[in-house]
Structure 1
């Protein structure tokens, strides 16, 4: 375990203020580990308190950080007494433990009581709505609650704000995300989220007002940067819930997303429907996915049937070809994976100078050789680190509950991405 003993002792002997503390909850998660390492590149001072219910996993991470920067602590975030002791006096608390529909409420409540700033990369609609409903409480406590500060939501919202600024009026907003082949390194919280968004109600914005669709039914085709044309599915994500607060005049706002290669979408849809209809539990579906990611296919025959049914449904609806499915099954059988491809896109339509206009912002490249867009974990963690830089720069000047488009200026955010190590060439490209 490492600690900033020398710097802390010097501050105490000199009578100076204690070092600024940033507390990470769920620090052992893949996305949070990336956020910690990349935030440390930009922020050269202050103590990084790494907490997790499995603190032993954090030792390698602490050793990679600059000497004396990190302290490791075991924390069960549902233990309110221990949680308060961990966050009291923090300059910022970052929640990286999901699923957020379970974890965000107790941590936000503790931050309100302790009057310390809070930031997360929540991608669940229900917990996002709850966090934003605490705006007045956060103002009274004098602290900011920054929600959805990851890739999607997060960077995607900033791309929307950047694109919309080119237009005089905003009519339609489409946010797109694509996640590539990440076998076998996928966490349970990510898969629980996937089961949550691949079936069931999808809160969206249509005809100038809120509407409810079915997740993973409607589709859209977009041109992803460096990849080309991909088919994505409408998903239950926070962007269509938060963006109407800034663009109430928009007729349509939706989030479409998907997985690559395409048959993964069929697996997600088949299992998600089974969970939504009570034919499988979410844990059964997640356990099955974790098994097939490790090339163990026959651990749950019932789940396998729903997964195959989902992929065949894709072929019947012409969302993917039979050849693509056969190739995927053959490659999976011999434990071959695909090159990772993914990224983000925001497409805004409206008018400019009285004429119809379109503005697009997207990540320009992706792949294992890139810094930030080599995996969704890398993109989410890097974006979170940039949001953290902006939050620290705010230095207590903002109070309330905020989605990214409420507070993160696009140019400042892109600069923050560079500060955490992202090459400018990977950050954003404009398509006019």
Structure 2
């Protein structure tokens, strides 16, 4: 199998490469083509992994001809270019033109509806696209399907993601994923599914408190713009069960949460209008990203070792066998030596899982969200092979 990864030397892309080329692979991978704007990052990754299956291509993602050349001869394209860079649809369309299967890490809902609207074109061309296949969205969609399958009728499914850090206080702000994505989660309105219809909600609304096992403890959650709520309640086999509510909520560690709230208050929620500083125009988010990266590099010796813990939790309520029923499906990700070289093992490993499951089974042409494409037992088996803990509880 031949796989191309656009943005392949970035934080998520590099992790995807690591997992694809690991001993966990369930398909015969002959080539992983890493395409990125940074030749320095690509060379560093190739030297570290020292795998002859790696093929490097420097890529200007704004150049359609270079994208087409990157996809040439490949069987699946993984788009790990940050969504808010604005190239999602161009890469998506390039995969269709090249007749190459396509996955991405999601689009905060920004492009999800546009991509799903192209289902008929992809189906007619015999091309498979599964959108939003990281951790959230991606794995989160799959656990929602697992919950829905246990219920005869569905009143609600509520989806939560909580992160917690254990260790000494970090004096440096280290984003859990791309700066633009975190800012968008705090600064942009979100669409939730309430009372049987999609409703736009203001940023940082939907506050809810929940007590989880340690190390999370008492957590405050908030609405966040994601794609799960745009697809799951409308999915075949879920919509028909009468679902009236679907929400997605986020919890980051308290100190980090307050930092992002403050940055939005300071004006970093403006993604588009450049700021003119001494005659030089720069977008606030680009400035912030550069500043944070420089601060991390300058203060690397002051960043303490911290253990990251994640819980991905879907709670479904409805009826089963004529009785009121609550179903909980959770995936817990605790520190493990396997994750040491990953920035966000859960996201990148899930993208690798999705790519391999698509290539290892007969493909279905069209554009799909994860809850409508993957076989749950097969997916959960791959999660467990990566030491993610899964628990499904049905309470009547």
TM-score, with normalisation over the residues of structure 1? 0.77
Separation of aligned partners in 1, 2:147 and 2:213: 15
Name the counterpart of 1:98. Answer: 82
Name the counterpart of 1:406. Answer: 372
Q: 1:88 aligns with which of 39, 53, 72?
A: 72
Name the counterpart of 1:241. Answer: 230
Name the counterpart of 1:69. Answer: 53
Query: Which one has a larger percent helix, Structure 1 or Structure 2?
Result: 1
Question: How far 1:287 sits from its partner (Å)?
Answer: 3.7
Separation of aligned partners in 1, 2:324 and 2:196: 18
Alignment of 1:267-416 (within 5 A): 267-273=259-265, 274-276=267-269, 283-284=283-284, 287-288=287-288, 291=291, 339-367=307-335, 369=336, 371=338, 377-395=344-362, 397-416=363-382
Name the counterpart of 1:60. Answer: 44
Aligned-residue RMSD, C-alpha: 2.8
Mark the CA change 1:200 to 1:49 in structure 2 (over 3 Å): closer, same or farther: closer
Name the counterpart of 1:209. Answer: 197
Question: How far 1:341 sits from its partner (Å)?
Answer: 2.6
8 Å CA contact retained: 2:163, 2:251:
yes
CA offsets 1:278-307 (integer angstroms, 9 cap, x no match): 9996943564476468769xxxxxxxxxxx
Separation of aligned partners in 2, 1:431 and 1:374: 32
Name the counterpart of 2:256. Answer: 264
Structure 1 unmatched ranges of 5 or more: 1-19, 297-333
SS in 1 for 2:371: helix
Mark the CA change 1:292 to 1:135 in structure 2 (over 3 Å): closer, same or farther: closer
Q: 2:105 aligns with which of 108, 121, 130?
A: 121
8 Å CA contact retained: 1:372, 1:382:
no
Question: How far 1:194 sits from its partner (Å)?
Answer: 1.8
Question: How far 1:66 sits from its partner (Å)?
Answer: 6.3
Name the counterpart of 2:124. Answer: 140
8 Å CA contact retained: 1:179, 1:341:
yes
Mark the structure with the bigger radius of gyration: 1
Question: How far 1:365 sits from its partner (Å)?
Answer: 4.3
Mark the CA change 1:285 to 1:126 in structure 2 (over 3 Å): closer, same or farther: closer
Q: 2:386 aligns with which of 399, 422, 426?
A: 422
Name the counterpart of 2:143. Answer: 159
8 Å CA contact retained: 2:312, 2:331:
yes
Separation of aligned partners in 1, 2:329 and 2:157: 12
Query: Which one has a larger percent strand, Structure 1 or Structure 2?
Result: 2
**Count of matched residue pairs:** 368
8 Å CA contact retained: 2:309, 2:332:
no
